Amino acid sequence: MPPSPIQKINELLESGRYDQFRTLIQLLKPVDAASLLENSPPKERTIIWELIGKDLQSEILQELNEEILEDLLSNVPESEILKLLEQVDSDDDLTDILQHLPDAITHQLLRSMDSTDRERVENLLAYPEDTAGGLMDTDTVSVRARVSLDVVLRYLRRHVELPETTDKLFVVNKLGQYMGILPLRLLLVSDPTLTVKEVMISDVDSIPADMSESEVAQLFSRYDLISAPVTDESGMLLGRITIDDVVDVIKDEAARSLLAQAGLTEDDDPFAPILRTARSRTIWLGANLLTAFLASAVINIFEDTIAKVVTLAVLMPIVASMGGVAGSQTLTLVIRNMAQGHLNDNNERWLMKRELAVGAINGVVWALVVAVAVTVIFRDTTLGIVISMALVINIVTAALAGATLPSILRKLDIDPAIAGTVLLTTITDVVGFFSFLGLATIFYG
């Protein structure tokens, strides 16, 4: 199989053939060039960026993740950054970049714009980037309800091209307030003498500008949307959100959920400097150390019992591990359904009861298995009874913790995907050790 263009580029970079490298990289699509930058170590990344043409640099900026974007531009003079940003055509892409650059650059760029462009960008900057307002694009096509379809068609033909991913036009009143949609599939096949009002679909709700991007993604997934209007509190049409932006949100949330379980963020650069990476991970290592000390303190309480029955030290990890796995299953299920918007006050309690029942059944089944195995191996019936009771207690507790922790953490404005695993591990370790050693103290006392 012949090498791909990116493989050829890497080979040219490694061999120092920069002239050929510069020629070949111009043939890459911006998204592929951005991927090459993101997958290169810092030293090579800087070389690649300097060899890329200025025109291509402005297009690549729109495809880079936040951390790498900031790194690449950290040593670039403000005047050059402004020249690059002036070539960014899309208002929403420009806004995304500006949100991660110093305020001084933002103010300079806004001053250089005409009043219309400046107003559009300022409106976008007013919304947090993780909301519908921060996600939307102001490049929309709107029409009035009273005009005929023939007028609409002639109006569209006056455009050089329509905005990408245009599947519908937005109908507004004379004040610019959203009224409904006019799908292109209806516009093209309907009688041109009909008015927009006669053909439009008015029961399609708009998306509030302050809606979170997670909720926006759920709406697009539920209703198979390609684009959707965004409005403010008074119903004014502000812009639209398209499926390509929502796909990015879904990918980011999937990556965030996976990385959060290890205490990482979705912007963690695999080629970031060692000290920065170590610093970003220290917090969760410290949190884990505290929970480990807590579990050790529980074990220390029963030091005398362990000294009398040394076998307890061998079996303790079984109790903690079984509870940890059971809790993780429930926690993952709840966080996933919470992220997809499937959980609410009405069904959350039902899910908790189900998980408790499942935990109880699994606890009894595996408690019997472990009890028989321990009794046979160590020839100690009492030890088998103790570990079976501890397993039931810990697995049921783990199921309860896994079902309730996400909602509690969310109410405290803490990401359940990040903190849930640490807290669950603490709970299952402490409850597992305390129940096992406590029961052992009672039975062997």
Q: What is the per-residue pLDDT across 209-225, written as a single tens digit (0 to 9) for each?
A: 999 998 999 899 889 99
CB-count exposure of residue 128 (10 Å: 0-12, 13-18, 19+): middle
Domain contains 269: no
CATH of the domain at 118: 1.25.60.10
| 171 and 254 housed in the same domain | yes
Domain contains 215: yes
Select from 423, 401, 394, 371 the least CA-distant residue to 320.
394
CB-count exposure of residue 168 (10 Å: 0-12, 13-18, 19+): buried
Place of tokens 């990556």: 255
Select from 233, 429, 408, 288 the least CA-distant residue to 338.
408
Buried b (16+ CB within 10 A) or exposed e, 325-336: ebbbbbbbebbe
Tell me the angle at which helices 5-15 and 42-51 cross, rounded to the nearest 10 degrees.
100
| Weakly modelled stretches of the chain, pLDDT under 50 | 267
Domain contains 267: no
CATH of the domain at 207: 3.10.580.10
| 295 and 255 housed in the same domain | no
- H helix or E strand, kind and range, residue 171: strand 168-172
Residues whose CB falls within 8 Å of the CB of residue 206, separated by 6 or more in sequence, listed in order: 178, 228, 229, 230, 231, 235, 237
Q: How far apart, in Å, are the Cα atoms of 378 and each of 373, 382, 384?
A: 8, 10, 9
| 291 and 400 housed in the same domain | yes
Query: 73, 96, 130: which is the final residue of a domain?
Result: 130
| 105 and 191 housed in the same domain | no
Domain contains 57: yes
| 291 and 410 housed in the same domain | yes
| 301 and 424 housed in the same domain | yes
Cα(396)–Cα(340) distance, integer angstroms: 26
What is the distance, to the nearest Å, from the Cα of residue 119 to the centroid of all Cα atoms in its chain?
29
- Residue 133 near residue 126, CB atoms below 8 Å: yes
Domain contains 101: yes
pLDDT digits (tens, 9 = 90+) for 374-407: 999 999 999 999 999 999 999 999 999 999 998 8
Structural domain boundaries, residue 66: 5-130
Domain contains 137: no
| 199 and 292 housed in the same domain | no
Query: 75, 99, 130: which is the final residue of a domain?
Result: 130
CATH of the domain at 313: 1.10.357.20
Domain contains 135: no
Domain contains 214: yes
| 314 and 439 housed in the same domain | yes
Query: 226, 260, 294: which is the final residue of a domain?
Result: 260
- The DSSP code sequence of 115-161 is HHHHHHHHHHHTS-TTBHHHH-BS---EEETTSBHHHHHHHHHTSSS
Number of domains comprising the chain: 3
pTM beyond 0.75: the answer is no
Cα(308)–Cα(185) distance, integer angstroms: 80
Cα(234)–Cα(309) distance, integer angstroms: 72
| 255 and 282 housed in the same domain | no
| 161 and 199 housed in the same domain | yes
In angstroms, what is the C-alpha Rg of the chain?
A: 29
| 195 and 299 housed in the same domain | no
- pLDDT, residue 433, reads 93
| 299 and 206 housed in the same domain | no
pLDDT digits (tens, 9 = 90+) for 339-377: 777 777 778 888 888 989 999 999 999 999 999 999 999
